[in-house]
């Protein structure tokens, strides 16, 4: 049976890190929050980073926004870690993010690396190349 991994808000992440978050060691190594998963605080910005095998898969911003990036590893574990913060699911081998903009009806958006979900549930549109 897989161990549970619980998501948290930006403020809860800061609380987990506590006063240690500004130390050099913690900034370099992070705090273990799950198997092969660490929580890091960027000492140059206020952002918090959830790292899986050294890859930044979730970024939490002070305004409540969440950025997701599989870093090219669309694995069950990556999806499971992301799903703790935002509803990420798979259908027919494709990943999707489910949100409720403005607390309204649920909206399903195809997942893409770098997708940002704002605190009000809106999703930043993917840049066109």
Whether the CB-CB separation of 49 and 57 falls below 8 Å is answered with: no
pLDDT in tens, the chain (129 residues): 345 678 899 998 888 887 555 555 555 668 888 899 999 987 788 899 999 999 999 999 999 999 999 999 999 999 999 999 999 999 999 999 999 877 778 999 999 999 999 999 899 877 655
d(CA 31, CA 41): 9
Between CA 122 and CA 57 the distance in angstroms is: 19
pLDDT at 63: 95
The pLDDT of residue 128:
58
pLDDT at position 26 is: 54
The Cα 107–Cα 121 span in angstroms is: 9
For the chain, give the DSSP string. Answer: -PPP-----HHHHHHHHGGGGGSHHHHHH-EEEETTEEEEE-TTSS-EEEEETTEEEEEE-TTS-EEE--TT---HHHHHHHHTTSEEEEETTEEEEEE-GGG-S-EEEE--TTEEE-TTS-BPPPPP-
What pLDDT, on a 0 to 100 scale, did the predictor assign at position 4?
A: 61
pLDDT value at position 124?
83
Residue 102: predicted pLDDT: 74
The pLDDT score that the predictor gives to residue 20 is 58
């Amino acid at each position: 049976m897989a161990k549970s991994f619980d998501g948290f808000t930006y403020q809860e992440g800061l609380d987990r890190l506590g006063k240690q978050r500004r130390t050099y060691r913690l900034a370099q190594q992070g705090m273990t929050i799950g198997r092969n998963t660490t929580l890091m605080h960027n000492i140059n910005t206020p952002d918090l980073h959830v790292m899986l095998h050294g890859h930044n898969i979730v970024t939490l911003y002070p305004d409540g926004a969440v950025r997701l990036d599989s870093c090219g590893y669309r694995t069950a574990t990556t999806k499971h870690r992301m799903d703790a913060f935002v509803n990420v699911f798979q259908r027919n081998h494709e990943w999707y993010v489910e949100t409720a903009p403005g607390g309204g009806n649920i909206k399903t958006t195809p997942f893409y690396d770098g997708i940002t979900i704002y605190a009000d549930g809106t999703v930043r549109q993917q840049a066109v190349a």
